[in-house]
Structure 1
Amino acid sequence: MTFGDQPAYLRVAGDLRKKITDGLLPPHTRLPSQARIREEYGVSDTVALEARKVLMAEGLVEGRSGSGTYVRERPVPRRVARSGFRPAGGATPFRQEQADGEARGTWESRSEQAEASRAVAERLGIKPGDRVMCTRYVFREGGEAMMLSTSWEPLDLTGRTPVMLPEEGPLGGMGVVERMAAIDVVVDNVTEEVGARPGLAEELLALGGVPGHVVLAIQRTFYASGRAVETADVVVPADRYRVAYHLPVK
């Protein structure tokens, strides 16, 4: 085998990756041993070991104690909708999707008052330490955790109003736009920044991932006449879901 300018371990990893994606090494198949890789590709033990480490870091294979390294089952990515269109009735996009009779989505939430961190305060345009309502969500599909969300709303805006608790009261569970409209705040803009990063240990524990798995991190902020009225961090496992945007054209 010719390795060219690329490091040998990457070439070996690339060839094994192709065999996995092409189905020549199907899920639950044992990966060739380090000795077999060394012999087949004419490389050193170090190169063979590094190639296996690459595949493990990419989530293509997993080690089983006392048994070896096996090809992982690759889930078919499912869709998480992010829409610029407001669903009928004012429900959040996730709730609208779950109105489909075939959907099996559930969610749980917990709200509590907190002090804004420096980062959250900067996003909301308030001072660090100002009081906010922090709400944490776990969204599930078919019983499987598929999305985490933490939102913050300034209590100098929503405090002592019917919408202070996002999931309780007459507008509990409605979207930010509808809830703010109820207190005469007109949301006219929303921004979302999407990035990817290794999941935090507590995120991966909640989402059923393993250390090193990558997550999509969405930072969302709603505005009313330039004032931030809600900001949130949304976390989605990148190996199981794709974020789909549906935006209106004016």
Structure 2
Amino acid sequence: MTFGEQPAYLRVASDLRQKIVNGSLPPHTRLPSQARIREEYGVSDTVALEARKVLMAEGLVEGRSGSGTYVRERAVPRRVSRSGDRPPCGSSPFRQEQAEEGARGTWESSSEQEPASAEVAERLGIDEGARVMRTRYLYRDSGDPMMLSTSWEPLDITGRTPVMLPEEGPLGGCGVVDRMAAVDIVVDNVLEQVAARPGLAEELLALGGVPGHVVLVVERTFYASGRAVETADVVVPADRYRLAYHLPVR
């Protein structure tokens, strides 16, 4: 293959994608059948099938049992703001995972103690198997699921203190910085690493996505004098939300 050439299935997918983007194939329109694609583009059944798989993986089309493949309604991405500013305790239902102004956000959470996995232990700088408090969140935007978050805190820091449970007690819902300050730990920086990957089946089920959809994952860790005091994975659907960072210029 010379530079610039594309496999046949990608050329077919590209042409169909363009028709979806420019409105020639509007939302809810049935995608041409495999036989129609084969005839129109002069390709094999295998190429036609692979082209349809590409569009499905990109979230542009969806299969309907017993009916065919249809163009999906394209969501207009909304913004999820990420900021180093600390809002007043209890002022925002999303705190660090705060949606854009005007969003009506709610969330559900549950906390449970567990032994740290190898990955979590490495991120927190603790021994594998050490006890941590895991808290899972499901955030909703105007009632629709929009974001998942799972956090882990070492219980050798918060265990048997009033802030052991992130969403309960006198500082429940106040965020990591204020809760840690209550046990004389000063959080002084946070690291966020952003990556994209296909969503896990359970993530897409919770977020209302379909298999193959891509999610953005923010791996966030709070530090106090170099020691990790909380780490979390924040997951948002890439086709519906964009991450916007507001950072001070020093």
2:155 corresponds to: 155
2:121 corresponds to: 121
2:112 aligned counterpart, secondary structure: strand
2:228 corresponds to: 228
Are the structure 2 counterparts of residues 219 and 238 from structure 1 closer, same or farther at C-alpha, using a change threshold of 3 Å?
Answer: same
Q: What's the CA shift string for 1:219-246, capped at 9, x where partnerless? A: 1100000000101111111111111111
Q: What's the CA shift string for 1:165-211, capped at 9, x where partnerless? A: 11111111012111111111110110011111111111111111111
1:194 corresponds to: 194
2:206 corresponds to: 206
Equivalences for 1:1-250 in 2 at 5 Å? Answer: 5-89=5-89, 91=91, 94-95=94-95, 97=98, 102-250=102-250
Contact 2:93 2:106 in 1 (8 A): no
Unaligned runs of 5+ in 2: none
1:239 aligned counterpart, secondary structure: coil
Contact 1:87 1:93 in 2 (8 A): no
Q: What is the letter of the counterpart of residue 171 of structure 2?
A: L
Counterpart CA distance in 1 for 2:151 and 2:68 is 42
Counterpart CA distance in 2 for 1:98 and 1:45 is 45
Contact 1:92 1:173 in 2 (8 A): no
2:18 aligned counterpart, secondary structure: helix
Counterpart CA distance in 2 for 1:79 and 1:222 is 23
Counterpart CA distance in 1 for 2:59 and 2:132 is 38
Deviation of 1:45 (Å): 2.5
Q: What's the CA shift string for 1:85-114, capped at 9, x where partnerless? A: 2224475672485796x4321101111111
1:53 aligned counterpart, secondary structure: helix
Deviation of 1:26 (Å): 0.5
Deviation of 1:15 (Å): 0.6
Q: What is the letter of the counterpart of residue 244 of structure 2?
A: A
Contact 1:216 1:238 in 2 (8 A): yes
Are the structure 2 counterparts of residues 92 and 75 from structure 1 closer, same or farther at C-alpha, using a change threshold of 3 Å?
Answer: same
Q: What is the letter of the counterpart of residue 168 of structure 2?
A: E
Counterpart CA distance in 2 for 1:91 and 1:208 is 27
- Give runs of ≥4 in structure 1 deviating > 4 Å: 89-93, 95-100
Q: What's the CA shift string for 1:98-146, capped at 9, x where partnerless? A: 796x432110111111111111111111111111111111111121111
Which range moved further: 60-69 or 139-148? 60-69
Which range moved further: 4-13 or 110-119? 4-13
1:74 aligned counterpart, secondary structure: coil
Contact 1:92 1:174 in 2 (8 A): no
Deviation of 1:66 (Å): 2.3
Counterpart CA distance in 2 for 1:115 and 1:226 is 22
TM-score, length-scaled by structure 1: 0.92
The CA RMSD over aligned residues, in Å, is 1.9
TM-score, length-scaled by structure 2: 0.92
Q: What is the letter of the counterpart of residue 246 of structure 1?
A: H
Are the structure 2 counterparts of residues 17 and 78 from structure 1 closer, same or farther at C-alpha, using a change threshold of 3 Å?
Answer: same
Deviation of 1:42 (Å): 2.2
Counterpart CA distance in 1 for 2:107 and 2:67 is 38
